[in-house]
Amino acid sequence: MEHRIIGPGPYRATKLWNETIELFRAKMPLRKHRSHFKSYEHCFTATEAVNWLHNLLRHNQNFGPEVTRKQTVQLLKKFLKNHVIEDIKGRWGQEDFEDNRHLYRFPPSSPLKPYPKRSPYKASVVKFPDWADQPPDTTQENIPVRPIVMNSESWYKRHSIAIGEVPACRLVYRRQLTEANVEEIWKSMTLSHLQKILELDSLDEVLDPKLVNSKFIIHNVYSVSKQGVVILTDKSKELPHWVLSAMKCLANWPSCSDLKQPMYSGFEKDVFKTIADYYGHLKEPLLTFQLFDAFVSVLGLLQKEKIAIEAFQICCLLLPPENRRKLQLLIRMMAKICLNKEIPPLCDGLGMRTLMVQTFSRCILCSKDEVDLDELLAARLVTFLMDNHQEILQAPSSLQNAIEERVAHLRRVQIKYPGADTDATLSAPSFCRQISPEEFEYQKVCGSQEPLATLLEEIITDNKLSVKDKKKKLKQGFLTWSLLNLFVFSSFRNPILKSTRNDFLHPRVKLWCFQKNQNPNHNY
């Protein structure tokens, strides 16, 4: 039975726990041992278990080579507590596991952690302001519209009216985009982007969307310093001054501007212990208990580095601003210490990188459930954070641009056409089309016959005009009508259509032509 990569998804920590137990039970060498002048079959010593399991974990791509022997001993203690193994006398639970010659064996049946029952997924769609949304008690019928009166003078001034193929625009009332709407957009699009990266049908089993605070996301994106570190509005949530000074001291060792007292032998170790004690006594890890499953799920993407970095960027945006700030300062300090060759060893027998991971991994990531593989998973995550902290602790620019464009789109004034998609969250915006000068000239010539007929009727029935003025205006109107029909009649080359082309003329126009002995079929 070979190990397999557990990808992103719900219950990843549980899957890794069960996978490790199955590999351990299937592959751990068992043999005959003697203890106190008595022989025992199918068992192993504690040291043999540590050696074999440590080698397995270091070569397992779900955990990596950063796993230490001490972490392996801690995992075997959890195995003993959960009856994955028992001592040679059948004792487990309260017994303590140590790296020695004590004998252990597997019980007849090894309990695997059950997976929680999955509740049926119900998609929750955030309702954004719609183009057709109107204020209460407002309908399209009672919108006041100033009537347009078309007479001969106004018609001559306009010279063209949109006809036929151009769809009629409808006045649309839109509600103002509120701050709450903007926050919901940020939350919805951020979670949707994370869900897409993880390739999950739902995020409900990885994190609770109800606990995600949209204000945290917006604050973490915009309220940052030039160095990209979050700026807190509530100064009471800042790191204590003495902790911040200690972190600056080690990060900039040996040149520290805040150092005002003489150093002594072992001074750097005391400063490091001060920082470790503060972070070790936090009530909750920096990545919070509620986001534990989300970060563990992202760990399944480490084989795809760029995708994993983007997923971590989004998850870190969900953190409370004070947690994000503390995480940024801590990871930067850890990375600088590991790269600083001038700083003396802070712990005998441990490399600087291993010391950083072991000291701070639990204060960065851990779960409420003590039997999970939180130590191993936290070490894996912290190692990846240290190697890519400059990118991970920045807001993803692609997501930020997409959300800003969506907000701008919802705030933009638009015109609604009949039959257009009204879902503003999905459809592209529709605008009035700008026409070319050639099309404008075409519309000037090809105006509607209805206004022309109205014009001719006004001229004929106007008693204030003299006969001379009427003839002059009728001549002008008839010339305009002739230009219109020049295009219409020239397009009717088909004999079938040619016989019916008079039907396209307004009845009033045909009556006037008959009275004046004009041939309506004549091409002028």
**For 21-52, how does the pLDDT look when each residue is reduced to its tens digit (9 = 90+)?**
999 999 999 999 988 888 999 999 999 999 99
Q: For residue 312, what pLDDT is reported?
A: 96
Place of tokens 């487990």: 92
Describe the strand order of the beta sheet including 31-35 as a list of residue ranges.
31-35, 38-45, 103-105, 86-87
> What residue spans of 28-83 are helical by DSSP H?
46-58, 69-81
* 414: nearest Cα among 141, 174, 163, 179: 174
Architecture of domain 181-401: Orthogonal Bundle (1.10)
CA pair distance 222, 106, nearest whole angstrom: 55
pLDDT tens for 375-400 read 899 999 999 999 999 999 999 999 99
The whole-angstrom separation of Cα 95 and Cα 83 is 11
Please report how the helices 69-81 and 374-392 are oriented relative to each other, as an axis angle in degrees rounded to 10.
Answer: 130
Instruction: Give CB contacts under 8 A, 24+ apart, made by 311-315.
Output: 311/8, 311/194, 311/197, 311/198, 312/384, 312/385, 312/388, 312/392, 313/391, 313/392, 313/393, 313/394, 313/395, 313/396, 313/399, 314/190, 314/193, 314/194, 314/197, 314/396, 314/399, 315/194, 315/287, 315/291
Tokens matching residue 58: 């270091």
Please check whether the two domains, 12-105 and 181-401, share a CATH topology.
no
Q: What is the pLDDT of residue 428?
A: 43
- Strands 31-35 and 38-45, how do they pair? antiparallel
Q: Identify the CATH assignment for 12-105 out of 1.20.1050.10, 2.40.160.40, 1.10.10.10, 1.10.1370.30.
A: 1.10.10.10
Query: Can you list the residues of the chain whose pLDDT is less than 70?
Result: 1-3, 116-175, 257-262, 370-371, 413-435, 440-452, 477-524
**How far apart, in whole angstroms, are the C-alpha atoms of residue 253 and residue 522?**
99
Q: Which residues pair with 170 in a beta bridge?
A: 416
Rounded to 10°, the helix 467-490/449-461 angle is 160
Task: Report domain extents, the chain.
Answer: 12-105, 181-401
Structure tokens at 24: 């351990």
- C-beta neighbour count of 481 within 10 angstroms: 23
Dihedral Cα 466, 469, 471, 472, nearest 10 deg: 180
Residue 79 main-chain phi, psi, to 5 deg: -60, -45
Residue with tokens 């200690």: 246
pLDDT of residue 444: 58
Give the per-residue pLDDT at 456. Answer: 72
